[in-house]
């Protein structure tokens, strides 16, 4: 059994699964129940100066009949008295000494920061997380993402915190910025021993077309909120990867759409030491952590990792700039005639959405030209669909390999497991990148259309 | 499920009639399973759990399939039901878990829980047959004897083995598995797949299976017999999983002779006997209205033996067989003749010619208006005898007025403090899943009692 515990800038966590600072960590009772369910750590709902919250607060995006592909919220930091929060934090930490308790903080002035750090650390919490990410409400008051999107301000405030903090400081970064490495750089320059990302993405979830009010509606109006949930995972992974490959990067807590063990493993492979979860818990409850622990543990065992820590950053070296990708890598689509059910989705995707290289048998060149094909294979084999569940009378589409650019689109739209695969057909044995071309002064190849025509002999 | 241990299917020969019948619900592909699992809304306090006799945490295992944690899904299933694989294939989910699915009330198709359960267990155990064996507790030195190798005993032995005990199963037949290998309709589960699951159970720990061994009430009359007393003497506890006895007969003239078979005997031949042939049968008749009657009728129909007629004494609505199974039987080509009582078997010499049936009016057969159905095979599915006399060989074990072994519901303990019982001999004949639950309850109590006493 792989060791799931991780060291996060000196803080030992029983597993990499933390709850993000959000509604699920609003009270001591919730955090206790989460720890009982198996969560390794929790970042408490952000403490700060008193605020009030509006009603309603959340909006969701459904996809394909499923709920909450994405969630948007306009809730602010904790609206409970700070004394209550601090008392409950102290009690939780006392009763769960092995679980990680992180205080999330957001205030304005130097004096306020100094004071809240003292009070938060007095609870026995293991670390502080600076909320420089909240993209709604608080940023209008000069806090949250207003700080996170100004690297200079972020650096200054982080500096204040570093003066007074005795526990590790995690700077939570906002994705609402052009280049995530700038605030990350600022946080590290100020001496922060860790960062977490991403906070939510500025969003308007939708518009009610009957009332002409964006959602969620509050008294006949709405405001922009913060977007999270499975939909934001690819964005979070990108920003995580950007930070993870910075030189001398500090430990990272990854956030953004983590819903199951596989998501968590991907975040860890791209550089996160711990992951923080919110939306999936808001949807299904604390119980989902059992699957996360079990799935990650099995995965680590299968792959021969001795510990979760060994997984951290494994995929980072393989995340490269476009200019460093091998231009000699080439793949072509291959359709398994024994699996094809004849839906022709690959055909239309290639014809209208890509490079017109998939053909339906039995058409004359004239018909093909009318449909939109521009290149015509000498022979298109006529293969009837034979797969179980196939459409009677349908034909297996044919890939004109010479024209296939290896884009993967047909594979992505094919509804049958393993029916379309991409077969590697290298253009040359050696690795040859755009950066190599530029190095040789060959990075300009004008007149691509002319060149193509010439190559086809027309 | 070839998967568990290839080439160790047990003593089953090729050419068994059941292998001509196709799998009604084949194993899902990964994509099919993921798509179906994603339909589940992951209810809290889900009604499907409540409806499962073994209380499997169904929404959790289904979510684990959706997150590509298939081994985790299998662990969740097997923790509550070691026979989760065969139950996934043989359970009447329409009246259990899937019948309770919230989608039913919503006018949407219920989640295919049985197929997902099969997918999870078959996929996970194929990849890792030792999935559970790895979690076995250290040996306790305690020994438990189990009488009969049907689902109840197998489940019990498996749980006992995981708890670190030694289990010895005595089975009088040469093929273990009871109902699972000998009785489940082939379009749901075939004997070689049931045998593969038995191999999995036997691999869970220190379990010895002794086939061809009868447990007897008095003194053993030779090899192949062992006395009930010696089990009590040599073992720390005894689990009795006797199952049911032979098919009951009608008691009508002409019944003795070729062509008239008990339904469970006939099913056993179809499933396990490669020499058994139904060559030439064109007009089979099945007598009865329970699930065994429907099973054999569907099997005969699926074997292509012409039109199968079911003769049932009461009205169709009163049949104890499940409505969804009867619907399937009709689609397979089975004809139901309701409110008819067999009164005689017609023979020409020894050769079976037909069955005389009389209309039943107000519960009474009107012999004067009898008619003869021409037929060349009669399968009697009108119940099975009890086998529970043996149970009485253990001091303190009592039977109810219907011959069922009396046990405490929560522990399956009989009137004898070290004797437990479960499965059909206790409930009078239910599903594999009910037997699996009895085996689990008994094993839990045996472990608790043995731990407390040592």
How many angstroms away from the CA of A66 is the closest CA of chain B?
8
Whether residue B335 is found in the same domain as residue B272 = yes
**Closest Cα to residue B449, out of B425, B395, B423, B413?**
B413
Between chain A and chain B, how many beta carbons pairs sit less than 8 Å apart? Answer: 40
The DSSP symbol for A277 reads E
Given an 8 Å threshold on Cβ–Cβ distance, is A262 in contact with B29? no
pLDDT > 90? residue A336? yes
pLDDT > 60? residue B6? no
CATH number, domain containing residue B203? 3.50.50.60
Whether residue B28 is found in the same domain as residue B79 = yes
Per the CB < 8 A criterion, the answer to whether B191 and B181 are in contact is yes
Average pLDDT over residues A104-130: 98
Q: Is residue A119 part of a domain?
A: yes
Given an 8 Å threshold on Cβ–Cβ distance, is A291 in contact with B42? no
Whether residue B143 is found in the same domain as residue B234 = yes
By Cβ distance, the residue of B44, B60, B67 closest to A295 is B67
Q: B80-91, pLDDT tens digit by residue? A: 999 999 999 999
Q: Is residue B303 part of a domain?
A: yes
Q: Say what the pLDDT of residue B4 is.
A: 43
Q: Say what the pLDDT of residue A132 is.
A: 95
Active-site residue list of A? 134
Q: Which residues of A touch B28 (CB under 8 A)?
A: none
**Closest Cα to residue B91, out of B222, B19, B180, B224?**
B180
Q: Is residue A447 part of a domain?
A: no
Confidence class of residue A384 from pLDDT cuts 50, 70 and 90? very high
Q: Is residue B5 part of a domain?
A: no
**Closest Cα to residue B388, out of B169, B240, B210?**
B240
Whether residue B54 is found in the same domain as residue B84 = yes
Q: Is residue A219 part of a domain?
A: yes
pLDDT > 90? residue B408? yes
Per the CB < 8 A criterion, the answer to whether A49 and A112 are in contact is yes
Whether residue B37 is found in the same domain as residue B122 = yes
| Total of domains in chain A | 2
SS3 A19: strand
For B77-105, b where at least 16 C-beta lie within 10 A, e where not — what string?
A: bbbbbbbbbbbbbbbbbbebbbbbbeeee
Please name the residue of chain A whose CA is at the shortest distance from the CA of residue B62.
A291
Task: Copy the structure tokens of residue A339.
Answer: 């699996």
Average pLDDT over residues A301-330: 96
By Cβ distance, the residue of A288, A298, A417 closest to B31 is A417
Last residue of a domain, one of A282, A316, A350: A316
Given an 8 Å threshold on Cβ–Cβ distance, is A284 in contact with B63? yes
Question: 10 Å Cβ neighbour count for B320?
Answer: 13
pLDDT > 90? residue A291? yes
Confidence class of residue B417 from pLDDT cuts 50, 70 and 90? very high
ipTM for the predicted complex comes to 0.91
Whether residue B280 lies within 8 A of chain A, CB to CB, comes out as no
Q: Is residue A452 part of a domain?
A: no
Last residue of a domain, one of B380, B401, B424: B380
Q: Which helix (DSSP H) or strand (DSSP E) does residue A360 occupy?
A: none
How many angstroms away from the CA of A50 is the closest CA of chain B?
35
Whether residue B350 is found in the same domain as residue B296 = yes
Last residue of a domain, one of A266, A283, A316: A316
Domain holding B373, by residue range, is 260-380
Last residue of a domain, one of B109, B127, B145: B127
- CB neighbours of A423 closer than 8 A, spacing ≥ 6? A331, A332, A333, A334
Whether residue A87 is found in the same domain as residue A223 = yes
Whether residue A93 is found in the same domain as residue A186 = yes
**Closest Cα to residue B141, out of B162, B167, B165, B163?**
B165
Sign of the alpha-carbon torsion through B265, B267, B273, B275: positive
Q: Which residues of A touch B31 (CB under 8 A)?
A: 415-417
Whether residue A309 is found in the same domain as residue A335 = no
Given an 8 Å threshold on Cβ–Cβ distance, is A298 in contact with B69? yes
pLDDT > 90? residue B265? yes
Q: Is residue A453 part of a domain?
A: no
Q: Is residue B4 part of a domain?
A: no
Q: Which residues of A touch B42 (CB under 8 A)?
A: 284
Q: What is the CA radius of gyration of chain A?
A: 26
Whether residue B321 is found in the same domain as residue B374 = yes
Whether residue A273 is found in the same domain as residue A344 = no
Whether residue B62 is found in the same domain as residue B109 = yes
Q: Is residue B9 part of a domain?
A: no
Please name the residue of chain A whose CA is at the shortest distance from the CA of residue B128.
A302
Q: How far apart are CA A383 and CA A374, in angstroms?
A: 22
Residue located via tokens 């309770």:
B100
Last residue of a domain, one of B95, B127, B159: B127
Q: Say what the pLDDT of residue B7 is.
A: 40
Q: Say what the pLDDT of residue A439 is.
A: 82
Whether residue A367 is found in the same domain as residue A237 = no
Residue located via tokens 């999935």:
B131
Whether residue B107 is found in the same domain as residue B142 = no
Given an 8 Å threshold on Cβ–Cβ distance, is A416 in contact with B69? no
pLDDT > 50? residue B3? no
Q: How far apart are CA B262 and CA B334, in angstroms?
A: 18
Q: Is residue A301 part of a domain?
A: yes
Confidence class of residue B125 from pLDDT cuts 50, 70 and 90? very high
Task: Copy the structure tokens of residue B39.
Answer: 């339909």
Range of lowest pLDDT (B8-17, B39-48, B291-300): B8-17
Whether residue B371 is found in the same domain as residue B272 = yes
Interface probe for A, chosen from B26, B67, B73 (most Cβ of A below 10 Å), is B67
By Cβ distance, the residue of B31, B38, B72 closest to A295 is B72
By Cβ distance, the residue of A260, A415, A417 closest to B67 is A260
Query: How many Cα atoms are found within 13 Å in the side-chain-facing hemisphere of A85?
Result: 26
Q: How far apart are CA B72 and CA B78, in angstroms?
A: 10
Given an 8 Å threshold on Cβ–Cβ distance, is B72 in contact with A298? yes
Q: Say how many residues make up chain A.
A: 458
Confidence class of residue A442 from pLDDT cuts 50, 70 and 90? confident
Task: Copy the structure tokens of residue B226.
Answer: 């062992």
Whether residue B400 is found in the same domain as residue B419 = yes
Per the CB < 8 A criterion, the answer to whether A13 and A5 are in contact is yes
Q: Specify which residues A275 forms β-bridges with.
A: A17, A254
| Total of domains in chain B | 3
**Closest Cα to residue B285, out of B379, B418, B161, B183?**
B379
Q: Which residues of B touch A259 (CB under 8 A)?
A: 67
Please name the residue of chain A whose CA is at the shortest distance from the CA of residue B127.
A302
Q: Which residues of B touch A417 (CB under 8 A)?
A: 29-32
Q: Which residues of A touch B59 (CB under 8 A)?
A: none
Please name the residue of chain B whose CA is at the shortest distance from the CA of residue A1.
B134
Q: Specify which residues A334 forms β-bridges with.
A: A421
Confidence class of residue A443 from pLDDT cuts 50, 70 and 90? low
Gap between the terminal Cα atoms of chain B: 40
pLDDT > 90? residue B311? yes
Q: Is residue A206 part of a domain?
A: yes
Distances (CA, A) of A66 to A63, A229, A273, B109: 5, 13, 30, 16
Residue located via tokens 């078959």:
B122
Domain holding A334, by residue range, is 322-439
**Closest Cα to residue A79, out of A27, A18, A140, A150?**
A27
Whether residue A47 is found in the same domain as residue A27 = yes
Interface probe for A, chosen from B69, B108, B111 (most Cβ of A below 10 Å), is B69
Whether residue A158 is found in the same domain as residue A306 = yes
Given an 8 Å threshold on Cβ–Cβ distance, is B60 in contact with A262? no
pLDDT > 50? residue B8? no
Whether residue A190 is found in the same domain as residue A312 = yes
Q: Is residue A449 part of a domain?
A: no
Q: Please, which residues 56-85 of chain B have a Cβ atom closer than 8 Å to chain A?
A: 60, 63-64, 67-69, 71-72, 75
Per the CB < 8 A criterion, the answer to whether A108 and A143 are in contact is yes
Q: B315-358, pLDDT tens digit by residue? A: 999 999 999 999 999 999 999 999 999 999 999 999 999 999 99
Whether residue A311 is found in the same domain as residue A347 = no
Q: Say what the pLDDT of residue A440 is.
A: 82
Distances (CA, A) of B115 to A12, B108, B291: 42, 17, 21
Relative to beta strand B377-380, strand B260-262 is: parallel
Q: Say what the pLDDT of residue A438 is.
A: 81
Given an 8 Å threshold on Cβ–Cβ distance, is B44 in contact with A285? yes
Per the CB < 8 A criterion, the answer to whether B87 and B432 are in contact is yes
Average pLDDT along chain A: 95
pLDDT > 90? residue A43? yes
Whether residue A198 is found in the same domain as residue A347 = no
Given an 8 Å threshold on Cβ–Cβ distance, is B64 in contact with A298? no
Given an 8 Å threshold on Cβ–Cβ distance, is B29 in contact with A290? no
Whether residue B346 is found in the same domain as residue B393 = no
Given an 8 Å threshold on Cβ–Cβ distance, is B60 in contact with A294? no
Alpha helices by DSSP H, A122-269: 145-148, 151-164, 181-189, 233-244, 261-269
Task: Copy the structure tokens of residue A117.
Answer: 């750090």
By Cβ distance, the residue of B30, B60, B72 closest to A417 is B30
Q: How far apart are CA A78 and CA A86, in angstroms?
A: 12
Q: Is residue B367 part of a domain?
A: yes
**Torsions phi, psi for A345 (to 5 deg):** -65, -35
For A146-184, b where at least 16 C-beta lie within 10 A, e where not — what string?
A: bbbbbbebbbebbebbeebbebbbbbbbbbbbeebbbbb
CATH number, domain containing residue A412? 3.30.70.20
Given an 8 Å threshold on Cβ–Cβ distance, is A287 in contact with B64? no
Q: A191-226, pLDDT tens digit by residue? A: 999 999 999 999 999 999 999 999 999 999 999 999
Q: Is residue B43 part of a domain?
A: yes
Given an 8 Å threshold on Cβ–Cβ distance, is A291 in contact with B30? no
Sign of the alpha-carbon torsion through A374, A377, A382, A385: negative
Average pLDDT along chain B: 95
Please name the residue of chain B whose CA is at the shortest distance from the CA of residue A416.
B31
Residue located via tokens 């300009």:
A444
Q: B209-219, pLDDT tens digit by residue? A: 999 999 999 99
Q: How far apart are CA B189 and CA B88, in angstroms?
A: 10
**Closest Cα to residue A374, out of A344, A350, A345?**
A350
CATH number, domain containing residue A260? 3.20.20.70
**Torsions phi, psi for A83 (to 5 deg):** -60, -40
Confidence class of residue A64 from pLDDT cuts 50, 70 and 90? confident
Whether residue A146 is found in the same domain as residue A197 = yes
Given an 8 Å threshold on Cβ–Cβ distance, is B63 in contact with A298? no
For A344-360, b where at least 16 C-beta lie within 10 A, e where not — what string?
A: bbbbbbbbeebbbbbbb
By Cβ distance, the residue of B42, B44, B69 closest to A295 is B69
CATH number, domain containing residue B26? 1.10.1060.10
Q: Is residue B350 part of a domain?
A: yes
Q: Which residues of A touch B71 (CB under 8 A)?
A: 294, 298
Whether residue B31 lies within 8 A of chain A, CB to CB, comes out as yes
Per the CB < 8 A criterion, the answer to whether B83 and B155 are in contact is yes
pLDDT > 50? residue B9? no
**Closest Cα to residue B161, out of B189, B126, B133?**
B133
Confidence class of residue A446 from pLDDT cuts 50, 70 and 90? low
Confidence class of residue A347 from pLDDT cuts 50, 70 and 90? very high
Per the CB < 8 A criterion, the answer to whether A270 and A242 are in contact is no
Q: Which helix (DSSP H) or strand (DSSP E) does residue A429 occupy?
A: none
**Torsions phi, psi for A310 (to 5 deg):** -65, -20
- CB neighbours of B10 closer than 8 A, spacing ≥ 6? B175, B176, B192, B195, B198, B199
Last residue of a domain, one of A316, A348, A380: A316
Q: Which residues of A touch B29 (CB under 8 A)?
A: 417
**Closest Cα to residue B409, out of B392, B434, B384?**
B434
Whether residue A87 is found in the same domain as residue A167 = yes
Q: B18-53, pLDDT tens digit by residue? A: 999 999 999 999 999 999 999 999 999 999 999 999
pLDDT > 80? residue B199? yes
Q: A387-439, pLDDT tens digit by residue? A: 988 999 999 999 999 999 999 999 999 999 999 999 999 999 999 998 888 88
Q: Is residue B252 part of a domain?
A: no
């Amino acid at each position: 059994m792989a060791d799931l515990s991780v060291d996060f800038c000196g803080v030992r966590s029983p597993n990499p699964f933390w709850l993000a600072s959000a509604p699920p960590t609003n009270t001591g009772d919730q955090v206790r129940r989460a720890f009982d369910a198996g969560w390794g750590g929790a970042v408490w709902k952000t403490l700060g100066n008193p605020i009030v919250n509006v009603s309603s607060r959340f909006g969701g995006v459904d996809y394909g009949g499923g709920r909450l592909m994405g969630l948007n919220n306009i809730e602010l930091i904790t609206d409970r008295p700070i004394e209550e929060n601090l008392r409950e934090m102290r009690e939780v930490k006392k009763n769960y000494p092995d679980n990680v308790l992180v205080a999330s903080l957001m205030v304005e002035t130097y004096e306020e920061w100094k004071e809240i750090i003292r009070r938060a650390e007095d609870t026995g919490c293991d670390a502080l997380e600076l909320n420089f990410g909240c993209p709604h409400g608080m940023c209008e008051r000069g806090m949250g993402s207003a700080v996170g999107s100004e690297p200079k301000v972020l650096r200054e405030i982080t500096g204040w915190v570093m003066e007074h903090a005795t526990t590790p400081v995690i700077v939570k970064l906002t994705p609402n910025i052009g280049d995530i490495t700038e605030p990350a750089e600022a946080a590290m320059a100020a001496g922060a021993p860790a960062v977490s990302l991403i906070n939510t993405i500025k969003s308007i979830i939708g518009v009610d077309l009957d009332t002409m009010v964006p959602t969620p509606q509050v008294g006949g109006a709405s405001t922009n909120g913060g977007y999270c949930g499975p939909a934001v995972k690819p964005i979070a992974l990108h920003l995580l990867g950007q930070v993870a490959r910075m030189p001398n990067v500090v430990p990272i807590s990854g956030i953004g759409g983590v819903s199951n063990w596989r998501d968590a493993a991907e975040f860890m492979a791209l550089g996160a030491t711990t992951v923080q979860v919110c939306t999936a818990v808001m949807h299904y409850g604390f119980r989902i952590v059992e699957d996360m622990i079990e799935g990650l543990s099995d995965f680590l065992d299968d792959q021969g990792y001795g510990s979760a820590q060994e997984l951290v950053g494994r995929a980072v070296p393989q995340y490269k700039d476009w200019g460093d990708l091998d231009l000699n890598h080439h793949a072509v689509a291959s359709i398994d005639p024994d699996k094809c059910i004849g839906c022709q989705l690959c055909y239309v995707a290639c014809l209208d959405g890509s490079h017109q290289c998939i053909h339906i048998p039995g058409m004359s060149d004239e018909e093909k030209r009318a449909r939109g094909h521009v290149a015509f294979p000498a022979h298109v084999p006529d293969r009837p669909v034979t797969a179980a569940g196939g459409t009677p009378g349908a034909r297996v589409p044919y890939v004109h390999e010479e024209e296939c650019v290896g884009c993967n689109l047909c594979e992505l739209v094919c509804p049958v497991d393993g029916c379309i695969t991409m077969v590697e057909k290298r253009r040359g044995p050696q690795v040859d990148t755009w950066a190599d071309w530029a190095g040789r002064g060959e990075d300009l190849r004008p007149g691509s259309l002319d060149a193509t025509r010439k190559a086809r002999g027309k | 499920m070839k998967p568990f241990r290839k080439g160790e299917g047990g003593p089953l020969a090729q050419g068994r009639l059941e292998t001509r019948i196709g799998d009604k619900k084949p194993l899902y592909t990964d994509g099919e399973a993921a798509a179906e699992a994603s339909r589940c809304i992951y209810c809290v306090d889900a009604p499907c759990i409540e409806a499962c006799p073994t209380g499997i945490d169904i929404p959790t295992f289904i979510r684990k399939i959706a997150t590509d944690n298939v081994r985790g899904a299998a662990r969740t299933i097997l923790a509550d039901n070691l026979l989760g694989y065969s139950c996934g294939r043989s359970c009447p989910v329409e009246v259990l878990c899937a019948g309770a699915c919230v989608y039913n009330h919503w006018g949407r198709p219920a989640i295919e829980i049985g197929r997902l359960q099969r997918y999870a267990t078959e996929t996970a155990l194929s990849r890792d047959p030792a999935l559970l064996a790895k979690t076995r507790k250290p040996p306790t030195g305690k020994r438990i004897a189990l009488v009969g190798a049907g689902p109840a005993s197998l489940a019990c032995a498996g749980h006992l083995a995981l708890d670190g005990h030694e289990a010895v199963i005595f089975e009088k037949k040469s093929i273990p598995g009871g109902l699972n290998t000998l009785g489940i309709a082939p379009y749901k589960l075939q004997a070689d797949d049931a045998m593969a699951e038995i191999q999995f159970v036997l691999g869970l720990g220190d379990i010895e299976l002794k086939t061809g061994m009868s447990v007897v009430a008095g003194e053993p009359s030779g090899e192949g017999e062992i006395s009930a007393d010696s089990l009590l003497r040599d073992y720390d506890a005894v689990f009795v999983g006797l199952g049911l006895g032979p098919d009951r007969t009608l008691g009508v003239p002409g019944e003795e002779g070729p062509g008239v078979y008990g339904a469970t005997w006939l099913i056993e031949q179809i499933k396990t006997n490669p020499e058994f042939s139904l060559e030439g049968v064109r007009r089979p008749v099945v007598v009865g209205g329970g699930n065994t009657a429907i099973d054999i009728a569907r099997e005969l129909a699926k074997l292509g033996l012409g039109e199968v007629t079911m003769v049932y004494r009461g009205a169709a609505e009163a049949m104890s067989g499940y409505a969804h199974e009867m619907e399937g039987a009709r689609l397979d080509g089975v004809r139901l003749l309701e409110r008819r009582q067999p009164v005689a078997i017609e023979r020409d010499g020894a050769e079976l010619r037909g069955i005389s049936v009389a209309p039943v009016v107000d519960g009474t057969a009107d012999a004067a208006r009898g008619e003869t159905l021409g037929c060349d095979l009669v399968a009697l599915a009108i119940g099975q005898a009890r086998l529970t006399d043996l149970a009485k060989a253990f001091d303190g074990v009592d039977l109810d007025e219907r011959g069922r072994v009396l046990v405490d519901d929560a522990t399956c303990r009989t009137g004898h403090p070290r004797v437990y019982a479960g499965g059909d001999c206790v409930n009078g004949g239910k599903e594999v899943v009910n037997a699996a639950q009895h085996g689990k309850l008994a094993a839990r109590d045996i472990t608790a009692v043995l731990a407390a006493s040592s």
